[in-house]
Structure 1
């Protein structure tokens, strides 16, 4: 088949519940989608353990990556086309970075990263630059093209406008996952008028800006993000599942280091346990592999590993209470001692989990995780930072909200028939408000 000018002889489309259709016209994009590394994203859920809370949340990083690509394609081909501030030579680079931005996510994403001290963005760049199918496809555009794609994802690329399309406080990544996650979880919080936002986006030298007339659509977008974090992403039941998932991985690693003889050896984890993980090893990991081990480990002799795996697979999750570590440190120390007295290992069965979010921030130069603000383009061409014009956004700007929960196995505590006094003491502490 012939592909003149890098275009497919016939446009390919994916049916999509969020964007209706995802259009692929470039051979480069079509070839990237067909690589094993990109197809692996079908086996990584977008929302990790959230499917145990919202049963529809079975969508994948594959779905989301295509969605981010489609939003960028629409911005470049429909909104920015022939505008003098936009360099059309950056089109394919932007599309590739959008498509590949989540390539390095591991199974259950952030929980997996925390246990093994990994960074999905580092693996994304390693896959793009390594001996992979992705790299071979990108090299068709030139020897330095994979490096450019990696730089956009690392936010170090010289054209900051390209970077801001994929990574900023109003980028294609967020616009897709808010709508997609709302759709698949069945909630209404994540909906906003993306069509309006796209229409009022304008390219400037180093970032995307929004016409002043589109301010209210942006306010709605920011509030949607705020609600999604607290109603979906930080849902306490999903966090309970993530706590158990994390403890399973910690326990298996501890047993391996201790010389424990597994009935089902964690062969896929050896390089992780020995801090020798390669890109090739990493790409073999997906959620089907992890769940295979969890089901197998339900039969292990180690009672902690077996119990935790049963809990995750059968969705027998930990209960939780509000718990402020700054005000309840004494109760926390008492609970640890009581758990030990009862024969429950607090390292695995008493877990304090905190979630924190900053819905919007203005520019704080020099600070860690610098956030470039959203700018409005006024009718006279002047740029104004969003919170200076919007009272709604000003009210939440720079304000970080943090939530603490204490997780524990209610069923085990209730079963303390021979240790009634310890049981009563534990329940008494857990009932105390802070």
Structure 2
């Protein structure tokens, strides 16, 4: 029997709080789960710094990856199977891409990537096609199979239906993380009727479509996503933690580049700091390694690095006020920068504007940045219509980007009775703290 068709003697199941059970029968999937690259995802939180806002948000990228795999397995085994539009020969490829789609995430993914100019999707593809245990497993299926998996994850695979299962405006990735993140944060916003959506999914040549009878379930899904972004993902306290984390990494990078002598040399950061990171070096990084350095740096001689690390480790976060990038507000920001420097508080690290933006749903806009394939409804007469043309609720939010700006600062440094107290009083007035 070919390795690609080999089944386990007994089905393996993972107990899961979202999907109840995750089922594995394929030998390939079981072997991939056992690789060290996949197991590393246990040490990467799904929601980065969100655990500092919602204490239950400790779940990992591995949890989520298994969930995405399970949703795709249900779609192709229970919904698509036997339908002429679905090529059963794409089944294993779809399952592998779903399982491995987040393989390249680094610790505290987005802050980490921004500071060091890294791309987790690039590393995901490199892990899949490189000298790794994952690649060894995939090559047993076929010499070109790793590249096919990488192409699906990169959204360049020729069969767009396969790509849409894990990368579209209604895909297994989003359906899992909305429910999983809602469960672990304890909020109700991310819940929607996934069972109904799965039942009304249908395969088409280029993407999954939804039977018109399922339109209201899709509306609920889109609104759930909208609420999760503004109530959880863009929570201002979580963003405060991300601001501090980002500034820690910026400070460490600045100190390294200026020849500072660390008490504990950041050997795990060297390849990042020099911009020459290999896949093997990248895979050694996880959040345990990051926390090791943050705790060591709590005793570092550099006052800024020491203070930022203590704040992050002990959750002494920055406060925030609303900020609108108008001329008046920008002038106020410039004045605050001057006053912070007079008060011997470095504004490069302690006065930060953070902006969050989301577009909950959009239809195809050729030539624009981040072109999006819309969700299509399959009508009873066989016609296909874009969702916002049929749904007044979705039409009301289509193409409408919402942006929120906050100004973050360490309020505790603005209330002492030092010689700078008059300057700090001016700062507090500008920030409307008194």
TM-score range, shorter chain: over 0.9
| Equivalent residue number for residue 130 of structure 2 | 130
| Equivalent residue number for residue 235 of structure 2 | 235
Deviations 1:239-279 (A, max 9, x none): 00000000001101111111111111100000000011000
Alignment of 1:185-224 (within 5 A): 185-224=185-224
| Equivalent residue number for residue 149 of structure 2 | 149
- Structure 1 contact 200–211 (Cα < 8 Å) conserved: yes
| Equivalent residue number for residue 425 of structure 1 | 426
- Structure 2 contact 3–140 (Cα < 8 Å) conserved: no
| Equivalent residue number for residue 362 of structure 1 | 363
How many angstroms does 1:367 deviate by?
1.3
How many angstroms does 1:424 deviate by?
1.6
How many angstroms does 1:418 deviate by?
1.9
- Structure 1 contact 374–386 (Cα < 8 Å) conserved: yes
- Structure 2 contact 178–225 (Cα < 8 Å) conserved: yes
How many angstroms does 1:325 deviate by?
1.9
For residues 406 and 432 of structure 1, the distance between their equivalents in structure 2, rounded to whole angstroms, comes to: 13
Secondary structure of 2:14's match? strand
- Structure 2 contact 80–202 (Cα < 8 Å) conserved: yes
| Equivalent residue number for residue 322 of structure 2 | 322
Query: Is 1:380 matched with 2:381?
Result: yes
| Equivalent residue number for residue 43 of structure 1 | 43
| Equivalent residue number for residue 413 of structure 2 | 412
For residues 175 and 390 of structure 2, the distance between their equivalents in structure 1, rounded to whole angstroms, comes to: 22
CA RMSD of the aligned region, Å? 1.2
Secondary structure of 1:213's match? helix
| Equivalent residue number for residue 290 of structure 1 | 290
For residues 378 and 430 of structure 2, the distance between their equivalents in structure 1, rounded to whole angstroms, comes to: 54
Structure 2: segments with no counterpart, 5+ residues: none
Query: Is 1:310 matched with 2:310?
Result: yes
| Equivalent residue number for residue 59 of structure 1 | 59
Q: How many residues align?
A: 432
How many angstroms does 1:43 deviate by?
0.1
For residues 189 and 417 of structure 2, the distance between their equivalents in structure 1, rounded to whole angstroms, comes to: 42
* CA distance 1:168–1:99, change in 2 (3 Å): same
For residues 308 and 399 of structure 1, the distance between their equivalents in structure 2, rounded to whole angstroms, comes to: 36
How many angstroms does 1:3 deviate by?
7.8
How many angstroms does 1:4 deviate by?
9.7
- Structure 1 contact 416–423 (Cα < 8 Å) conserved: no
For residues 149 and 161 of structure 1, the distance between their equivalents in structure 2, rounded to whole angstroms, comes to: 14
For residues 195 and 365 of structure 1, the distance between their equivalents in structure 2, rounded to whole angstroms, comes to: 33
How many angstroms does 1:5 deviate by?
3.7
- Structure 1 contact 325–332 (Cα < 8 Å) conserved: no
* CA distance 1:4–1:113, change in 2 (3 Å): closer
- Structure 2 contact 241–312 (Cα < 8 Å) conserved: yes
Deviates further, 365-374 or 45-54: 365-374
How many angstroms does 1:324 deviate by?
1.1
Runs of 4 or more, structure 1, over 3 Å off, are 2-5
For residues 8 and 171 of structure 1, the distance between their equivalents in structure 2, rounded to whole angstroms, comes to: 28
- Structure 2 contact 4–141 (Cα < 8 Å) conserved: no
How many angstroms does 1:419 deviate by?
1.7
Secondary structure of 2:202's match? strand
For residues 416 and 82 of structure 1, the distance between their equivalents in structure 2, rounded to whole angstroms, comes to: 76
TM-score by length of 2: 0.98
- Structure 1 contact 3–9 (Cα < 8 Å) conserved: no
How many angstroms does 1:423 deviate by?
1.2
| Equivalent residue number for residue 179 of structure 1 | 179
Deviations 1:64-113 (A, max 9, x none): 00000000000000000000000000000000000000000000011100
Alignment of 1:20-169 (within 5 A): 20-169=20-169
For residues 3 and 374 of structure 1, the distance between their equivalents in structure 2, rounded to whole angstroms, comes to: 36
For residues 171 and 225 of structure 1, the distance between their equivalents in structure 2, rounded to whole angstroms, comes to: 12
* CA distance 1:4–1:169, change in 2 (3 Å): closer
Structure 1: segments with no counterpart, 5+ residues: none
TM-score by length of 1: 0.98
For residues 168 and 221 of structure 2, the distance between their equivalents in structure 1, rounded to whole angstroms, comes to: 13
Deviations 1:180-217 (A, max 9, x none): 00000000000000000000000001000000000000
For residues 407 and 160 of structure 1, the distance between their equivalents in structure 2, rounded to whole angstroms, comes to: 42
